[in-house]
Amino acid sequence: MSKIDFTAYDTKDFYDEMFDENNNVRPNYKMFLERLEKLSHKKLKSLQYATDRAQLSLGMTFNVYADNQGVERILHLDIIPRIIGNSEWTLLERGLQQRIKALNLFIQDIYNDQKVFKDKIIPKEMILSSVSYLKQLEGFKPPKDIWCHITGSDLIKGGDGQYYVLEDNLRCPSGVSYMLENREILKRTFPELFEQLGVKPVYDYTHTLRDTLEYLSDKEKPVVVVLTPGVYNAAYFEHSYLAQQMGAELVEGKDLIVKNDIVYMITTNGLQRVDVIYRRLDDEYIDPLVFNKQSLLGTPGLFNAYIKGNVALVNAPGTGVVDDKAVYAYIPRIIKYYLGEDMILPNVKTYICDEEQDRKYVIDNIHNLVVKQTDASGGYGMLIGPKSTKKEQQEFITKIKNKPRNYIAQPMINLSRVPTITDDTIEGRHVDLRPYALYGDDIKIIPGALTRVALTKGSIVVNSSQGGGSKDTWVLNR
């Protein structure tokens, strides 16, 4: 039986997480490699197959927006983990804490004192023109002054082996259930490695999440619910999973009713007051009286109940401003302004098409750049310059000229790679990293992450809706 070997493994041109440029194994992966090399290809395949089965039986499925309703897919889990050493993680942790702290202060400021505009750190129009800026929140302070309770930033590692923050995701970051369930599955796949290697556990995420939510209420036993758009939502598995793991009620908008600015859920025994809502619904859908009038997903009156301080919403409405890709470019300055510190985790260099000089550069160099729509996510509305046709580039240039505020551009980053099982061998595939942070009495970064992997050879699009898979992420004790 042929054993697994990596003699033909290609590490050229990219940073590989397992091997250095001379094909020597990196220290984090040494023990894992030894284990892997004892396996035959056939055994590895059967371990991978058992994983696919386990995901199906757990019901870890999602619906893709473009597909017909009811078409379910699993997020493919590749069993070769992403392994991160302790010192690397510590830096990442500090960087994320710094960033989230600053961003929270920034959001509070733009809706209240607006010092950041007065001190000319960021143009006022840039914020006020963001579709995610909610005028209704001006002068409002949320419970405990926390806006972004749950963050799932997207990070990448470049060819230089350095982490960069790509997106902050302060609205409703998803994927944490995959982090948790992937770990449960991998513990069955490689039980002996967990014992020997010293992998930090992630299991307390849902406990910490519950604490984070309860922290917002002054009651001793607040009623906490998870608000979902319903079973047809792509992330429904996660909503129900989190509710069940936290022991919280899973509600839809129609299960809630607002009377005299107080939110109740409709139970078989009448109305029960709700104190904290972890909503997995974007701002525009939560309340048809204030936002999207067509929305059937939300609850009329919810926003007013929130403004009156009678219920906590997590994340707070209005945080989407920071997810605007044009605001992203200012984050280094935002951190410096609020904390007086230099940014620990760097941003990717970003060109703002709304600024004339940058726009000219972007148009001239579009074939080398990644162009992104400022209010889009999920890998939609973007152009990957080096992989695009002249025609596509021309289309984007027209779009940029028409609405410069809607576009930014970044240099192409060579995402790092991790060995990944393919049909007949193991090859490097590009990955990103989404760690999760919870902001309660302090900012906790869960020692683990969802590593998303672009399964198609050469692809750098890791989004689940576009052929991405996932890997378990191991943070080591040492």
Partner 1 sequence: MLGRVANTIYWMNRYLERAENYARFMDVNYNLSLELPPNEEQQWKPLVVITGDWELYESLNSKVEKSKVNYFLAFDENNPNSIYNCISLARENARAVRPEITKEIWEQINSLYFLVKQGLEQKRLDDKELRGFLTEIKNGCQLVYGMYDSTISRNEGWDFGKLGQVIERADKTSRVLDAKYHLLLHSPAKVGSSLDLIQWAALLKSVSAYDMYRKKYGKLTPSSIAEFLILDTQFPRSILACLINAEKSLITLCGSSVGFSNIAQKQLGALKSQLEYDDINDIISQGMHEYLNDIQLRLNEISSSIYNSFFDIEIHV
In angstroms and rounded to an integer, the radius of gyration of the C-alpha atoms of the chain is 23
Size of the site for partner 1 (CB under 8 A): 27
The binder of partner 1 chosen from 4, 31, 33, 58 (CB under 8 A) = 58
The binder of partner 1 chosen from 15, 32, 133, 241 (CB under 8 A) = 241
Is 389 a binding residue for partner 1 by CB under 8 A? The answer is no
**What is the smallest separation between the CB atom of 270 and partner 1, expressed in angstroms?**
7
The C-alpha atoms of residue 187 and residue 52 are separated, in whole angstroms, by: 14
Complex with partner 1: residue 255 or 427, whichever CB lies closer: 255
* Cis peptide bond upstream of 315, omega within 30: yes
Complex with partner 1: residue 268 or 357, whichever CB lies closer: 268
Is 165 a binding residue for partner 1 by CB under 8 A? The answer is no
Burial string for 2-31 (b: 16+ CB within 10 Å, else e) reads eebebeeeebeebbbbbbeeeeeeeebbeb
The binder of partner 1 chosen from 48, 136, 240, 456 (CB under 8 A) = 240
The alpha carbon dihedral of 240, 244, 246, 250 has a sign of: positive
The C-alpha atoms of residue 22 and residue 19 are separated, in whole angstroms, by: 8
**What is the smallest separation between the CB atom of 231 and partner 1, expressed in angstroms?**
5
Segment interacting with partner 1 (CB under 8 A) among 10-18, 245-253, 274-282, 353-361: 245-253
Complex with partner 1: residue 132 or 228, whichever CB lies closer: 228
Calculated CA dihedral for residues 200, 201, 207, 213, nearest 10 degrees: 40
Complex with partner 1: residue 221 or 232, whichever CB lies closer: 232
Residues 303, 291 contacting (CB under 8 angstroms) = yes
Q: What does the per-residue mask of binding to partner 1 show for 311-350, with x meaning CB under 8 A?
A: ----------------------------------------
Complex with partner 1: residue 56 or 64, whichever CB lies closer: 56
The residue length of the chain stands at 478
Q: What are the backbone angles phi and psi of residue 433, rounded to the nearest 5°?
A: -145, 125
**What is the smallest separation between the CB atom of 247 and partner 1, expressed in angstroms?**
8
**What is the smallest separation between the CB atom of 265 and partner 1, expressed in angstroms?**
6
Provide the token pair at 255: 């299960």
Is 64 a binding residue for partner 1 by CB under 8 A? The answer is no
Residues 376, 358 contacting (CB under 8 angstroms) = no
186 contacts: CB under 8 Å, gap ≥ 6? 79, 81, 472
Complex with partner 1: residue 44 or 257, whichever CB lies closer: 257
- Find the helix or strand (DSSP H, E) in which 59 lies: none
Provide the token pair at 127: 């914020």
Is 251 a binding residue for partner 1 by CB under 8 A? The answer is yes
Is 52 a binding residue for partner 1 by CB under 8 A? The answer is no
Q: What does the per-residue mask of binding to partner 1 show for 253-282, with x meaning CB under 8 A?
A: -xx-x-------xxxxxxx-----------
Residues 433, 163 contacting (CB under 8 angstroms) = yes
The binder of partner 1 chosen from 3, 5, 49, 59 (CB under 8 A) = 59
Complex with partner 1: residue 232 or 391, whichever CB lies closer: 232
The C-alpha atoms of residue 208 and residue 220 are separated, in whole angstroms, by: 16
Segment interacting with partner 1 (CB under 8 A) among 91-99, 203-211, 233-241, 467-475: 233-241
Binding to partner 1, residues 406-445 (CB under 8 A): none
Complex with partner 1: residue 76 or 325, whichever CB lies closer: 76
Distance from CA of residue 203 to its chain's centroid?
Answer: 18
The closest alpha carbon to 29, from 15, 43, 19, belongs to 19
Segment interacting with partner 1 (CB under 8 A) among 230-238, 283-291, 322-330, 459-467: 230-238
Binding residues for partner 1, rule: CB under 8 A, are: 56-59, 230-231, 236, 240-241, 243-244, 247-252, 254-255, 257, 265-271
